[in-house]
Chains A and B, each alone.
Chain A
Amino acid sequence: DGGITQSPKYLFRKEGQNVTLSCEQNLNHDAMYWYRQDPGQGLRLIYYSQIVNDFQKGDIAEGYSVSREKKESFPLTVTSAQKNPTAFYLCASSSRTVLSGANVLTFGAGSRLTVL
């Protein structure tokens, strides 16, 4: 079955440590996205990538970094510079077929990061 796999599902980190969240998709989607979800604040866009080897900052990119070396993979690193990293992180992907316009996002099950 096609879909998005995020790992780990739960992650604990000590302050000052970097941590990398994995996101892999087998949907052959060109575009991939990372969102952060905090209680009562909905989803906020961290980074997005429309094509391999290219990515753009979203609304809250500070303290985060990404890479897009393969079409299937879009890992997110939460660095020690992120002041309040405890949150639920969601990865999503979509196709970029121009004719079909703004395409449906397919989401992973999320990764919950807790900083101790």
Chain B
Amino acid sequence: AQKVTQAQTEISVVEKEDVTLDCVYETRDTTYYLFWYKQPPSGELVFLIRRNSFDEQNEISGRYSWNFQKSTSSFNFTITASQVVDSAVYFCAPGDLYNNNDMRFGAGTRLTVKP
């Protein structure tokens, strides 16, 4: 089974600050997916990114960027110029390449962005 550690339980920043959410995972698979989901106060988890373990290139999407380091089993998420709307709980999850039965979510990091 997969396992993930999100060591930061809560982070609080002021608007426009950059913030990085850490994710360290464990997996016995040689190939796998990594996911990040966002859970706003409404409760519904929203998909942010899926990264294949083959691809170690960093990815940027607007103010969001992801740093995948296979050698350290980390998949960190950075929000640049944070906004109040970024306030949410963020979950990292490693997943099997062929099914979701083995997907395990971390405890999540609660991000609060203050105006």
> Which one of A20-28, A68-76, A104-112 is at the B interface?
A104-112
Kindly list chain B residues whose C-beta atoms are within 8 Å of the C-beta of A40. 9, 107
Kindly list chain A residues whose C-beta atoms are within 8 Å of the C-beta of B52. 101
Which interface class (under 10, 10 to 19, 20 to 34, 35 or more) fits B? 20 to 34
Q: Does A98 contact B (CB under 8 A)?
A: yes
Are B43 and A101 in contact, with the CB atoms below 8 A? no
Q: Does A11 contact B (CB under 8 A)?
A: no
Chain B contacts with A in 25-65, Cβ cutoff 8 A: 32-33, 35, 37, 42-47, 50, 52
Are B43 and A43 in contact, with the CB atoms below 8 A? no
Question: In the complex, which residue of chain A has the Cβ closest to the Cβ of B107?
Answer: A42
| B112 CB to nearest chain A CB (Å) | 15
> Which one of B14-22, B74-82, B93-101 is at the A interface?
B93-101
| B15 CB to nearest chain A CB (Å) | 26
A-B pairs with beta carbons under 8 A, tally: 64
Q: How far, in angstroms, from A41 to B6 measured CA to CA in the complex?
A: 11
Question: In the complex, which residue of chain A has the Cβ closest to the Cβ of B45?
Answer: A107
| B109 CB to nearest chain A CB (Å) | 10
| A51 CB to nearest chain B CB (Å) | 12
Q: Does B91 contact A (CB under 8 A)?
A: yes
A and B contact pairs by CB, cutoff 8 A, 17 listed: A41-B107, A42-B91, A42-B106, A45-B104, A48-B101, A90-B43, A90-B45, A102-B96, A102-B98, A104-B50, A105-B45, A105-B100, A106-B47, A107-B37, A107-B45, A109-B42, A112-B43
